[in-house]
């Protein structure tokens, strides 16, 4: 991908663009520091989301060339996109690392389960418990421990407690968990949603007004307000908080009412009585709940019949208070109207709820709380949502609302698309596990192999996409295999690609790569990688490392070939001092059973050299015999290169002329003489390289061998 | 994998501290006072592509690492050592580009105050992959590399002077080094080879170890060596295929294998680092190899002892790339985890 830039280099822009495309255009300034004009640009993909831009400066004319102007071009990497504003790259990597273990555990459980199904027929009904455990693990990764729901008032001025910043990602995950993974919560969906909104209402503040936003703003102004109950905002904020069920906040705020102050208590007794009555009613609101949630106001009921009884009793108490004659006697207009509005909210007055809530989800939640606490079934929940959207049409779309609507529509494809669009490949690859646990219909949709996807399923597609994202980063590529191996059709092929693509220059990386091959039993790949590493090291002059890797990959043919190259330097530099350097390499070759190819010659050569050295030191006949043994072995061995024959024999002159006794017997001497004969024929061929030996070398060897032969014949 | 079970009360307390950077190496710093504790981390930030050597202070409650002082390195750190010399802490770091950095930190406040470097142009090592060991007392370094060079670098206040002891010209590569005494050190390399060197005898190793390993068995690469001050004749090495062995200079060519891939092994992959466990007081008269701690690519940190079942201290889902036992508080171990985190273990 490259193109020659047009000639608008003067202002720094390389390609002119028209005004009408400006909205969809992202401009990345390049700080290349090259003097214009730039003659050529090449653009290619770098790792991940980066483009590699190579800029070539035009060869400058002679007179403009300055001494500093020697750079003819520059290569830059441009990172595309701005990333996620909510979650930084390093945080994403932490999430990626953390989700490996839960994902792998779930996959291994699934395969264990499918084994079980093969043997026994009944389908495991509590698979969702595994999925729920997985989901909880992922949730804990996305943020700290869950705090008591809802903002809490601590001090007079502290209505909304600052907590760990919630993220849309965590909110979305919990939403999926509530609807798909947690089968126990199916009967309590509305209550779960109430809790969910209490945790995440603040997120919606980014696109529109929320109850949380109102509360937070009011808290800031609280210190400046003299008479709280005379401020209409006090009542407005309380009605909003009540409408979404943040009972503890409302009760706490009610207790800030001026009539509670000691100096006013006596002359505002009636007013205070009414405030307190409402506060008590609020704190006694019956709530349906399957688990004891600590710190939550309201009377908790675990069974529906009990709840219904309590609910009706509570409603009648509210109605009674609403019709009470005390209201007329209450002379504080603000208090009277404010409190009665709170009662209307609790009685489920649609108009009051509509006024108190800010957007459709809050209205939706308030419906569950005060109008239809017995809503069950997704379909009726969806109808209610439709109604709320009509009552409060959304002005702008928040990234979570699309997801919520998709879930309520029971449209798996929409849920997937929304997750993918708003939260990226990590979300989809991991959330699919929840979706498949949700319903059989979803499972069919997701597992179905599709022709238009090249015969793979949606599950596989999204895992592959996520694995590609992981593969593109230097720190996460090592976890991609876990996802790739869970893909039946394309996974292994892509894994092979990934492994082949890694750099082999650094041992750490190379060894990690080989370790992955070992884990997935990809011996042929690790063997190939070792070969590549061997050749790389060999070419870069690390002969030892090159030999090591080629040996490990059992690549005899390449070892043979490099042996020929090695011998060139052996032949020249085998003087006794430099032999120290060779010793280590020869040690590396290991025992003879190891595949060493032509290099095994070096071994015997080393043994021969050693025993020769001993002879020059002392004059032991035993050592000399040993040396002869090595020499004969070397000369018999077909892997000994021909060009070494003459130097070897020349080195051994001393052995042939041994004073005490002839060291070689008749057949051995004949063998060497034959080799000498062979050599003289070989000399006639072209390309024969003459060893660097004195001119009389050949004749002196011949003479010595002949003498030895004579002595040996006499001996025998 | 075999490991003796530990009762709950014996299990170490583990803190995992995410760093949001890849940790290339980690060491404890020698203690400056009884209250403050510091560790030095070699970090690589992939987002900015920058490497740094950072001193972090250890805060006890809750346990956390606080960046304290930092030095930015030109390339990624391949090995890191810390020692004390007079009243100063000396940190030595070799980099992937072949340069060497010596950092001095004042003992009073543990901040880097001066630095001497041997830049890559000086040609200390020509290839990626070099290893440094700092002599106790911190006046001399040995650096070895895959290019087959063995250098002795003496540390001055303002300069470093390098002396090439040996150059194999790439015929032999070295991947680990450890001082045994002010005059001797050991190196390791491919094929589980170990070499013993004496500064006074240049021109080659004074002794070489290369056993005939099992026929089926491929010899691997030595990644780390340790030598106990009380037993200078024994060289402990850890490397590929879960192998940990000891080489007794007096029993040459006979390795004492403490762990290798197979039935008894705690790990089957690369053993990245090995250190004698200073926590366990073994009787000095024993002829057995002293207990040691290892960490591995498959995420294991364990104590291994000759003739005993290994004891697993930590099992992570990712590789443990390195660790360091605090010499002054031997029950504390700091580990660098592959997933951009550091783990601190306190043994009870």
By the CB < 8 Å criterion, does A94 face chain B? Answer: yes
Task: State yes or no: pLDDT of A482 exceeds 90.
Answer: yes
Residues, chain A: 716
| Cβ(A480)–Cβ(A104) below 8 Å | no
> For A620-666, how does the pLDDT look when each residue is reduced to its tens digit (9 = 90+)?
777 788 888 888 888 887 777 777 788 788 888 778 887 777 788 88
Q: Do A593 and B215 touch (CB under 8 A)?
A: yes
Cis preceding linkage at B62, omega within 30:
yes
| Cβ(A302)–Cβ(A252) below 8 Å | no
> For B204-229, how does the pLDDT look when each residue is reduced to its tens digit (9 = 90+)?
888 888 666 554 456 789 999 999 98
* pLDDT tier, A60 (very low <50, low <70, confident <90, very high otherwise): low
Average pLDDT score over chain B:
86
Smallest CA–CA distance, residue B240 to chain A, in Å, is 9
Report the residue of B95, B147, B166, B170 to disrupt the A interface, i.e. the one with the largest count of A CBs within 10 Å. B170
> For A330-345, how does the pLDDT look when each residue is reduced to its tens digit (9 = 90+)?
888 888 889 989 999 9
Smallest CA–CA distance, residue B68 to chain A, in Å, is 21
> For A259-284, how does the pLDDT look when each residue is reduced to its tens digit (9 = 90+)?
888 887 778 888 888 899 999 999 88
Beta-strand (E) ranges in A409-519? 449-450, 456-457
Q: Do A97 and B22 touch (CB under 8 A)?
A: no
| CA end-to-end distance (rounded Å), chain B | 24
| Cβ(B19)–Cβ(B340) below 8 Å | yes
Strand partners, B14: B345
Q: Do A540 and B169 touch (CB under 8 A)?
A: no
Report the residue of A584, A590, A594, A599 to disrupt the B interface, i.e. the one with the largest count of B CBs within 10 Å. A584
Which of chain B's residues have a Cβ under 8 Å away from the Cβ of A90?
20-21, 47, 340
Determine what percent of chain B falls in helix, strand and coil, rounding each to the nearest 5.
0, 55, 45
Number of C-beta neighbours around residue A360 at 10 A: 22
Nearest CA in chain A to B211: A590
Task: State yes or no: pLDDT of A62 exceeds 60.
Answer: no
Task: State yes or no: pLDDT of A19 exceeds 70.
Answer: no
CA distances A273 to A276, A298, A313, B187, Å, are 5, 20, 21, 87
Beta-strand (E) ranges in B205-310? 207-209, 222-228, 231-239, 244-248, 256-259, 271-276, 292-296, 300-304
State how beta strands B311-315 and B320-325 pair.
Answer: unpaired
Tokens representing A320 are 């009674």
What does the CA dihedral A139, A142, A147, A153 come to, rounded to 10 degrees? -140
The pLDDT of residue A594 is 56
Tokens representing B347 are 């043994």
The pLDDT of residue A10 is 44
The pLDDT of residue A154 is 46
Task: State yes or no: pLDDT of B301 exceeds 90.
Answer: yes
d(Cα A196, Cα B334) in Å, to the nearest integer?
40
The owner of tokens 């061995």 is A637
The pLDDT of residue B3 is 45
Task: State yes or no: pLDDT of A152 exceeds 80.
Answer: no
Smallest CA–CA distance, residue B326 to chain A, in Å, is 25
Cβ neighbours for B170, distance < 8 A, ≥ 6 positions apart: A540, A541, A542, A543, A544, A545, B147, B148
Nearest CA in chain B to A479: B318
CA distances B9 to B5, B6, B13, B347, B348, Å, are 12, 8, 10, 10, 8
Mean pLDDT calculated for residue range A65-75: 61
d(Cα A514, Cα B86) in Å, to the nearest integer?
44
Of A114-118, A291-295, A410-414, B273-277, least confident by mean pLDDT is A291-295
Mean pLDDT calculated for residue range A84-95: 82
Which of chain B's residues have a Cβ under 8 Å away from the Cβ of A543?
170-171
Report the residue of A588, A591, A595 to disrupt the B interface, i.e. the one with the largest count of B CBs within 10 Å. A588
d(Cα B234, Cα B194) in Å, to the nearest integer?
11
ipTM of the complex: 0.91
> For B244-267, how does the pLDDT look when each residue is reduced to its tens digit (9 = 90+)?
999 888 876 678 888 887 766 788
Mean pLDDT calculated for residue range A103-116: 86
Give the neighbor-by-neighbor strand order of the sheet with B194-198: B174-179, B184-189, B194-198, B207-209
Q: Do B168 and A581 touch (CB under 8 A)?
A: yes
| Cβ(B19)–Cβ(B336) below 8 Å | no
Q: Do B240 and A511 touch (CB under 8 A)?
A: yes
Closest CA to B108 of B25, B35, B26, B27: B35
Which of chain A's residues have a Cβ under 8 Å away from the Cβ of B168?
544, 581, 584
Phi, psi angle pair for A650, to nearest 5°: -65, -40
d(Cα A541, Cα B172) in Å, to the nearest integer?
10
By the CB < 8 Å criterion, does A593 face chain B? Answer: yes
Q: Do B170 and A100 touch (CB under 8 A)?
A: no
By the CB < 8 Å criterion, does A568 face chain B? Answer: no
The pLDDT of residue A571 is 53
Which of chain A's residues have a Cβ under 8 Å away from the Cβ of B189?
544, 584
| Cβ(B186)–Cβ(B144) below 8 Å | no
By the CB < 8 Å criterion, does A75 face chain B? Answer: no
Query: Please, what's the largest Cα pairwise distance for chain A?
Result: 147
Of A345-349, A591-595, B193-197, B221-225, least confident by mean pLDDT is A591-595
| Cβ(A240)–Cβ(A341) below 8 Å | no
By the CB < 8 Å criterion, does A582 face chain B? Answer: yes
Provide the 3-class DSSP secondary structure of residue A59: coil
Task: State yes or no: pLDDT of A11 exceeds 90.
Answer: no
Task: State yes or no: pLDDT of A686 exceeds 80.
Answer: no
Phi, psi angle pair for B167, to nearest 5°: -140, 115
Smallest CA–CA distance, residue A101 to chain B, in Å, is 7
Q: Do B340 and A90 touch (CB under 8 A)?
A: yes
What does the CA dihedral B52, B57, B59, B63 come to, rounded to 10 degrees? 40
Nearest CA in chain A to B188: A584
Q: Do B317 and A585 touch (CB under 8 A)?
A: no
Which of chain A's residues have a Cβ under 8 Å away from the Cβ of B22?
475
Task: State yes or no: pLDDT of B185 exceeds 90.
Answer: yes
Candidate from B171, B268, B319 with C-beta closest to A581: B171
Task: State yes or no: pLDDT of B25 exceeds 90.
Answer: yes
Nearest CA in chain B to A593: B215
The pLDDT of residue B225 is 95
d(Cα B278, Cα B292) in Å, to the nearest integer?
8
By the CB < 8 Å criterion, does A588 face chain B? Answer: yes
> For A403-437, how does the pLDDT look when each residue is reduced to its tens digit (9 = 90+)?
999 999 888 888 989 898 888 899 999 999 888 88
Closest CA to B177 of B145, B209, B139, B138: B145
Tokens representing B247 are 């080489």
Smallest CA–CA distance, residue A200 to chain B, in Å, is 26
> For A503-520, how does the pLDDT look when each residue is reduced to its tens digit (9 = 90+)?
888 888 899 999 999 999
Report the b/e string of A429-465 with b at 16+ CB within 10 A: bbbbbbbbbbeeebeebbeeeeeeeeebbbbbbbbbb
Which of chain A's residues have a Cβ under 8 Å away from the Cβ of B219?
590
Task: State yes or no: pLDDT of B334 exceeds 90.
Answer: yes
Task: State yes or no: pLDDT of A201 exceeds 70.
Answer: yes
CA angle A495, A499, A500 (to 5 degrees): 115
| CA end-to-end distance (rounded Å), chain A | 82
Selected residues 537-566 of chain A with any CB under 8 Å from a CB in chain B: 537, 540-545, 548, 551-552
The pLDDT of residue A144 is 60
By the CB < 8 Å criterion, does A389 face chain B? Answer: no
CA angle B339, B345, B346 (to 5 degrees): 170
Tokens representing A642 are 């021909």
Of A48-62, A443-457, B2-16, least confident by mean pLDDT is B2-16
Average pLDDT score over chain A:
80
Instruction: Kindly give the interhelix angle for A189-200 and A168-176, rounded to the nearest 10 degrees.
Output: 170
Candidate from B127, B189, B270 with C-beta closest to A515: B270
Cβ neighbours for A438, distance < 8 A, ≥ 6 positions apart: A179, A180, A181, A412
Candidate from B190, B208, B340 with C-beta closest to A93: B340
* pLDDT tier, A185 (very low <50, low <70, confident <90, very high otherwise): confident
Q: How many CB pairs under 8 A join A and B?
A: 114
d(Cα A300, Cα A288) in Å, to the nearest integer?
6
CA distances B122 to B97, B100, B161, B191, Å, are 11, 10, 11, 30
DSSP type of residue B51: E
Cis preceding linkage at A653, omega within 30:
no
DSSP type of residue B199: T
What does the CA dihedral A303, A304, A306, A310 come to, rounded to 10 degrees? 130
Smallest CA–CA distance, residue B204 to chain A, in Å, is 7
Strand partners, B160: B155
Nearest CA in chain B to A505: B128
> For B98-134, how does the pLDDT look when each residue is reduced to its tens digit (9 = 90+)?
889 999 887 677 888 888 888 877 778 887 778 999 9
Candidate from A93, A506, A543 with C-beta closest to B128: A506
Nearest CA in chain A to B209: A587
Smallest CA–CA distance, residue B269 to chain A, in Å, is 7
d(Cα A261, Cα A453) in Å, to the nearest integer?
70
Number of C-beta neighbours around residue A73 at 10 A: 15
Containing B332, the helix (H) or strand (E) segment is strand B332-337
Nearest CA in chain B to A587: B210
Q: Do B318 and A581 touch (CB under 8 A)?
A: no
Of A53-62, B81-90, B313-322, least confident by mean pLDDT is A53-62
The pLDDT of residue A147 is 46
Q: Do B46 and A505 touch (CB under 8 A)?
A: no
Residue percentage of chain A with pLDDT more than 70: 83
Phi, psi angle pair for B3, to nearest 5°: -155, 135
Q: C-alpha A531: how far from its chain's center?
A: 29
Tokens representing A362 are 């809050």
d(Cα B76, Cα B42) in Å, to the nearest integer?
8
Of A713 and A37, the structure prediction assigns the larger pLDDT to A713
d(Cα A521, Cα A515) in Å, to the nearest integer?
10
> For A384-399, how does the pLDDT look when each residue is reduced to its tens digit (9 = 90+)?
999 999 998 887 788 8
Smallest CA–CA distance, residue B339 to chain A, in Å, is 6
d(Cα B259, Cα B268) in Å, to the nearest integer?
9
């Amino acid at each position: 991908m490259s193109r020659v830039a047009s000639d608008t280099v003067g202002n720094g822009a390389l390609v002119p663009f028209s005004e009408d495309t400006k909205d969809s255009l992202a401009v990345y300034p390049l700080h290349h520091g090259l003097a214009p004009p730039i003659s050529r640009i090449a653009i290619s993909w770098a790792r991940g989301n980066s483009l590699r831009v190579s800029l070539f400066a035009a060869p400058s004319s002679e007179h403009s060339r300055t001494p500093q102007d020697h750079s003819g071009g520059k290569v830059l990497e441009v990172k595309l996109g701005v990333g996620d504003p909510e979650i930084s790259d390093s945080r994403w990597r932490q999430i990626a690392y953390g989700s490996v273990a839960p994902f792998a555990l779930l996959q291994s459980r699934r395969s264990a389960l499918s084994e079980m199904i093969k043997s026994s027929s009944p389908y495991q009904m509590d698979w969702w418990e595994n999925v729920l455990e997985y989901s909880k693990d992922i949730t804990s990764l996305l943020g700290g421990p869950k705090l008591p729901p809802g903002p809490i008032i601590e001090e007079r001025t502290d209505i909304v407690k600052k907590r760990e910043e919630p993220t849309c990602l965590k909110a979305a995950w919990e939403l999926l968990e509530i609807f798909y993974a947690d089968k126990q919560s199916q009967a309590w969906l509305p209550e779960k949603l109430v809790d969910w909104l209490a945790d995440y209402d603040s997120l919606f503040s980014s696109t529109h007004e929320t109850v949380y936003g109102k509360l937070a703003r009011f808290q800031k102004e609280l210190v400046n307000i003299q008479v709280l109950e005379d401020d209409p905002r006090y009542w407005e904020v309380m009605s909003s908080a009540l409408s979404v069920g943040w009972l503890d906040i409302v009760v706490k705020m009610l207790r800030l009412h001026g009539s509670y102050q000691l100096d006013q208590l006596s002359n505002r007794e009636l007013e205070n009585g009414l405030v307190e009555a409402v506060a008590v009613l609020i704190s006694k609101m019956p709530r349906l709940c399957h688990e004891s949630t600590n710190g939550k106001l309201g009377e908790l009921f675990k069974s529906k019949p009990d709840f219904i009884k309590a609910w009706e009793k509570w409603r009648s108490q509210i109605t009674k208070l609403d019709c009470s004659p005390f209201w007329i006697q209450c002379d504080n207009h603000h208090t009277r109207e404010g409190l009665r509005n709170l009662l209307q909210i609790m009685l489920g007055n649609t108009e009051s709820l509509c006024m108190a809530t800010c957007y459709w989800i809050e209205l939706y939640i308030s419906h569950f709380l005060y109008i239809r606490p017995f809503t069950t079934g997704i379909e009726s929940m969806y109808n209610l949502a439709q109604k709320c959207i009509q009552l409060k049409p959304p002005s702008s779309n928040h990234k979570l609302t699309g997801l919520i609507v998709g879930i309520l529509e029971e449209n798996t494809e929409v849920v997937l698309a929304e997750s993918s669009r708003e939260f990226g490949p990590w979300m989809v690859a991991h959330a699919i596990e929840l979706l498949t646990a949700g319903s059989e219909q979803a499972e069919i949709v997701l597992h179905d192999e599709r022709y238009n996807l090249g015969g793979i399923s949606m599950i596989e597609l999204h895992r592959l996409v996520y694995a590609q994202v992981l593969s593109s980063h230097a720190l996460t590529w090592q976890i991609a295999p876990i996802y790739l191996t869970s893909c039946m059709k394309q996974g292994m092929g892509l894994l092979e690609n990934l492994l082949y693509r890694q750099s082999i220059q650094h041992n750490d990386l190379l060894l990690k790569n080989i370790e992955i091959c070992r884990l997935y039993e990809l011996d042929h790949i690790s063997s190939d990688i070792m070969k590549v590493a061997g050749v790389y090291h060999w070419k870069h002059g690390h002969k030892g490392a090159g030999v090591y890797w080629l040996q490990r990959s059992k690549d005899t043919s390449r070892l043979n070939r490099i042996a020929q190259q090695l011998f060139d330097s052996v032949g020249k530099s085998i003087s006794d001092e430099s032999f120290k350097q060779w010793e280590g390499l020869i040690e590396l070759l290991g025992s003879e059973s190891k595949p060493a190819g032509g290099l095994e010659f070096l071994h015997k050569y080393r043994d021969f050299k050693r025993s020769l050295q001993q002879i020059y030191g002392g004059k032991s006949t035993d050592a000399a015999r040993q040396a002869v043994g090595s020499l004969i072995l070397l000369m018999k061995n077909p892997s000994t290169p021909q060009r070494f024959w003459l130097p070897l024999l020349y080195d051994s002159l001393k052995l042939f002329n041994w004073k005490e006794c002839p060291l070689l017997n008749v057949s051995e001497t004949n063998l060497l003489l034959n080799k000498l004969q062979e050599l003289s024929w070989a000399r006639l061929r072209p390309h024969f390289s003459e060893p660097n030996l004195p001119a009389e070398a050949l004749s002196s060897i011949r003479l010595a061998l002949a003498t030895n032969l004579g002595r040996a014949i006499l001996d025998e | 994998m075999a490991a003796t079970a530990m009762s709950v009360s014996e299990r170490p307390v583990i803190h995992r501290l995410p760093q949001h950077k890849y940790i290339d190496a980690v060491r404890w710093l020698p203690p400056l006072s009884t209250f403050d504790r510091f560790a030095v981390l070699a970090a690589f930030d992939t987002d900015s592509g920058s490497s740094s050597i950072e001193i972090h202070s250890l805060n006890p409650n809750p346990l956390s690492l606080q960046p304290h002082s930092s030095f930015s390195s030109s390339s990624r750190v391949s090995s890191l050592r810390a020692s004390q010399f007079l009243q100063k802490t000396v940190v030595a770091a070799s980099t992937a580009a072949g340069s060497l950095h010596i950092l001095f930190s004042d003992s009073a406040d543990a901040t880097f105050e001066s630095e001497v470097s041997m830049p890559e142009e000086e040609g200390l090592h020509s290839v990626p992959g070099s290893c440094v060991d700092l002599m106790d007392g911190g006046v001399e370094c040995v650096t070895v590399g895959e290019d087959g060079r063995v250098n002795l670098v003496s540390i001055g206040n303002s300069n470093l002077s390098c002396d090439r002891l040996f150059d194999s010209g790439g015929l032999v590569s070295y991947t680990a080094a450890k001082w045994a005494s002010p005059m001797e050190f050991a190196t390791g390399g491919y094929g589980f080879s170990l070499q013993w060197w004496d500064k006074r005898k240049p021109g080659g190793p004074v002794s070489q170890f290369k056993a005939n390993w099992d026929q089926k068995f491929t010899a691997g690469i030595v990644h780390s060596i340790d030598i106990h001050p009380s037993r200078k004749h024994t060289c402990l090495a850890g490397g590929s295929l879960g192998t940990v062995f000891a080489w007794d200079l007096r029993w040459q060519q006979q390795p004492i294998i403490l762990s290798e891939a197979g039935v008894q092994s705690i790990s089957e992959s690369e053993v990245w680092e090995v250190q004698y466990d200073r926590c366990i007081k073994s009787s000095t008269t024993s002829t057995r190899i002293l207990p040691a701690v290892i960490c591995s690519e498959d995420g294991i940190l364990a104590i291994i002892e000759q003739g005993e079942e290994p004891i697993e201290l930590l099992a992570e889902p990712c590789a443990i790339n390195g660790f360091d036992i605090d010499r002054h508080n031997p029950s504390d171990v700091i580990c660098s985890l592959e997933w951009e985190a550091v783990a601190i273990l306190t043994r009870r």
